[in-house]
Amino acid sequence: MNRVRVAMATVALDLLVIACYPGGQTGGRAPNFQGITKWIKSEPLTVAGLEGKVVPVDFWTYTCVNCIRTMPYSKDWHAKYADKGLVIVGVHSPEFEFEKITDNVAAAAREFGLAYPIAQDNNFATWQAYNN
């Protein structure tokens, strides 16, 4: 039960970043996706193009155990709500050099069964735009 609460809190925090950015002020627009080296499972997305949708932004990397533990919840939400306007955007921000290789990220996305768009943020430009 605690793992479920942690996962839900993580996703809720991601949603809060979008809804309240910048600096906790409501009504602001989330930063655009910046410096993305590759989009996996999607054409390039923009915040403006996602207006009117609920968009959790999930910063992750494929070797992070905490990231991996939240994936079942993101996958379930995507399966249940994608056709109702939910667009989960995974932002892959690598911890190690080998995680910058697009083929490795794409293989991990397949292995984990991630069907939603993934932005490869190798230079942490989007990460920094969201004040992480």
Centre a 10 Å sphere on the Cβ of residue 58 and count the other Cβ atoms it contains.
20
In percent, the amount of the chain with pLDDT more than 70 equals 80
Instruction: Phi first, then psi: give them for residue 95, nearest 5 degrees.
Output: -90, -30
Q: What's the predicted TM-score (pTM) here?
A: 0.80
Is residue 46 classed as helix, strand or coil in its secondary structure? coil
Q: What are phi and psi of 91, to 5 degrees?
A: -110, 105
Q: What was the pLDDT predicted at 21?
A: 43
pLDDT digits (tens, 9 = 90+) for 66-112: 999 999 999 999 999 999 999 999 999 999 999 999 999 999 999 99
